[in-house]
Amino acid sequence: MGAEGAIPLSRAQRFLIVIAGVGGSAVYEFIWTIAGVALPHMQGSFAASPDQIAWVMTAFIMGTVVTIACTGWLSARFGRKRVYLTSIAGFAVSLLLCGSATTLHEEVVWRLAQGIFGAALLPLGQAITADAFPPDRHGAATAIWSIGIMGGAIMGPVAGGAVVEFLSWPWVFYLNFPLAILAFAIAAAVLPNSEPDRDNKLDWFGFSAIVIALTAFQVMFNRAERLDWFASTEVVTECVIGTLAFYLFVAHSLTAERPFFRPSLFRDRNFNLGLAAAFANGTVVTLPLVIIPLMLQQVAGYPALDAGLLMFTRGLGLMMSSVVLARFDRQLPAKHVMIAGFAVLLVTGLAMAGWTADVSAREVAWINFAQGAGSGAAFIAINALTFSTLDVRLKTEGLAVFYTVLFTGATIGIAAIVAVLTRMTQVAHAVVGAHVNPFSERFRLLAPPEIWDRGEIAGLAALEQEVMRQAEMIAYSDSFLVAALIPIAALPLAFLFRDPNPGTAAD
């Protein structure tokens, strides 16, 4: 696992390996953020509802979760370089397939494949970058890696907005293809080969059990709102299958000679706390990438390019916090950084809950910037604390578990927030619509514009459109409020982490 990091490296070698590690991860991050801006236009092309179009993001995460869980085994069994290159190549092909999709079902299938192939790019990219540095500098290495992939986070929304505005949404995938080919070429040229472990057998029972459990729960959460939750036989069935599969996975892991995830991973206190914090972080930081572009374009009336520019400030915030933490990683205690990051997410989430349909671009920009800075700080701090006391020999496997939990949280977070959005839109529409009638004192005092002439069909249609717009905005505000409450639950975890022993990770 850490063979690459054990070889003394020159400054030039270290630089090139970092470029290779960051390159593959940046390609993944770029398509992750660029697709969010294109969602409203894809929704129109596929005639999909908000909960249906959310599958474009959810399928991508589901594919990632399914494969990322076995990234540690794949890396050991076939060699890190080979797995990394295969992931980039498969990811590149999936970009062409996603752009050529003509139906929502096709798009979801190819996005699922994209997540499956791209899953290894984040943990392996981070491990490649970290192993280019000595163990006591892994916190700084993580920050450097984060700075690198923030290029994707920064340019993704702007590029997505421009592409959708002047070309069409399929080009958000096509234009990423050359970047993937470039990342493949760099990695193939500079990454050292690692000896594959031919005797490393996969625990197929444990792997199958965890994949079935995660898939069943993810499908359940994404389908539950449409099917009225546990009133649906399908939802109950998926819940039972997921629970049973997870029980079998845990029982098997505790009794098998060579389980899928080694139990020694979970004997580390910081690692377990880090998984809980990563789950909470995953549920909250992904939501803005899905719902803010939809709100800005469909409710607030911003063009795709303007929405992309406003999301651009989020990437700037991420970059700023990453640069600061890379420079002062030894002066800023990770616990304090984690607390500060979640506190910023809480405050900005509450501010977003007060937005109206006429929210100004300036307010969206600065809140996005602050939230980006907070989420970047929280992620880097959680990452550093999670692996600060873990045996270095378990790091690749630990990263696979870490990102499995992180993306599972993201999937569940998206499903939950879409459910809140759908349900509250219906409730708000009923409440707002109840006040729009000739007998309402408030409506008569409003002096409605001529376009709302209730004696004309066009006027009634315009009035109904405004009612729906306000109802959707109320639902978005409620969704932002729910997202703001998640950091409150995660904040106490920071106080439970054990201060790292400088020698532990290197033992």
Q: What are 111's two structure tokens?
A: 């996005």
Mean pLDDT of 308-314: 77
What is the per-residue burial (b if ≥16 Cβ within 10 Å, else e) of 392-409? bebbbbbbbbbbbbbbbb
CA atoms within 13 A on the CB side of 500: 28
Mean pLDDT of 378-406: 79
Task: Give the per-residue pLDDT at 138.
Answer: 59
Scan for tokens 């409150």, then name that residue. 488
> pLDDT class for 477, splitting at 50, 70, 90?
confident
Task: Give the per-residue pLDDT at 260.
Answer: 72
Question: Which contiguous run of DSSP H or E holds residue 14?
Answer: helix 11-46
Task: Give the per-residue pLDDT at 4.
Answer: 44
Mean pLDDT of 377-394: 80
In angstroms, the CA 365 to CA 370 distance is 9
Task: Give the per-residue pLDDT at 504.
Answer: 44
Q: How far is CA 286 from CA 128, 254, 375, 411, 414, in A?
A: 24, 32, 10, 9, 7
Q: Return the CATH class of domain 11-202+260-428+468-496.
A: mainly alpha
Task: Give the per-residue pLDDT at 244.
Answer: 92
Mean pLDDT of 463-489: 79
> pLDDT class for 5, splitting at 50, 70, 90?
very low
Question: Given a cut of 50, is residue 507 above it in pLDDT?
Answer: no
Question: Given a cut of 50, is residue 388 above it in pLDDT?
Answer: yes
Least confident window among 231-245, 268-282, 406-420: 406-420
Three-state SS sequence of 185-252: HHHHHHCCCCCCCCCCCCCHHHHHHHHHHHHHHHHHHHHHCCCCHHHCHHHHHHHHHHHHHHHHHHHH
Give the percent of the chain with pLDDT over 90. 1
Q: Which residue has the higher pLDDT, 97 or 229?
A: 97
Q: What is the pLDDT of residues 9-68, one digit of tens each?
A: 566 667 777 777 777 787 887 777 676 667 777 777 777 776 677 777 778 877 877 777
Helix axis angle for 104-118 and 11-46, nearest 10°, is 170
Q: What is the CA radius of gyration of the chain?
A: 23
Q: What is the pLDDT of residues 52-72, one digit of tens each?
A: 777 777 788 778 777 777 777
Q: What is the pLDDT of residues 235-251, one digit of tens each?
A: 888 889 989 988 888 88
Mean pLDDT of 447-451: 58
> pLDDT class for 183, splitting at 50, 70, 90?
confident
* Contact status, residue 317 vs residue 373, Cβ threshold 8 Å: yes
What is the per-residue burial (b if ≥16 Cβ within 10 Å, else e) of 480-490? bebbbebbeeb
Give the highest mean pLDDT range of 328-332, 340-344, 502-506. 340-344
> pLDDT class for 425, splitting at 50, 70, 90?
confident
- Which residue, among 403, 391, 388, 406, has the nearest Cα to 1 in the 3D structure? 391
Question: Given a cut of 50, is residue 506 above it in pLDDT?
Answer: no
Question: Given a cut of 70, is residue 142 above it in pLDDT?
Answer: no
Q: What are 365's two structure tokens?
A: 């920009």
Question: Given a cut of 70, is residue 297 above it in pLDDT?
Answer: yes
Task: Give the per-residue pLDDT at 505.
Answer: 42
- Mean confidence (pLDDT) of the chain: 76
- Which residue, among 309, 316, 294, has the nearest Cα to 414 in the 3D structure? 294
Mean pLDDT of 215-231: 75
* Contact status, residue 381 vs residue 324, Cβ threshold 8 Å: no
In angstroms, the CA 17 to CA 84 distance is 13
Residues in the chain: 507
DSSP 262: -
Neighbour tally for 416: CB within 10 Å: 20
Domains in the chain: boundaries: 11-202+260-428+468-496, 203-259
Mean pLDDT of 337-351: 86
- Which residue, among 404, 323, 374, has the nearest Cα to 490 in the 3D structure? 374
Q: Which residue has the higher pLDDT, 416 or 171?
A: 171
In angstroms, the CA 158 to CA 317 distance is 15
Task: Give the per-residue pLDDT at 1.
Answer: 40
Give the percent of the chain with pLDDT over 70. 79
Task: Give the per-residue pLDDT at 12.
Answer: 67
Determine if the pTM surpasses 0.85: no
CA atoms within 13 A on the CB side of 162: 8
Q: What are 180's two structure tokens?
A: 């993937």
**What region, left, alpha or beta, does residue 360 occupy, with left being phi > 0 and alpha being psi -120 to 50 degrees?**
beta
Task: Give the per-residue pLDDT at 452.
Answer: 57
Q: What are 424's two structure tokens?
A: 């509250």
Three-state SS sequence of 80-116: HHHHHHHHHHHHHHHHHHHHHCCCHHHHHHHHHHHHH
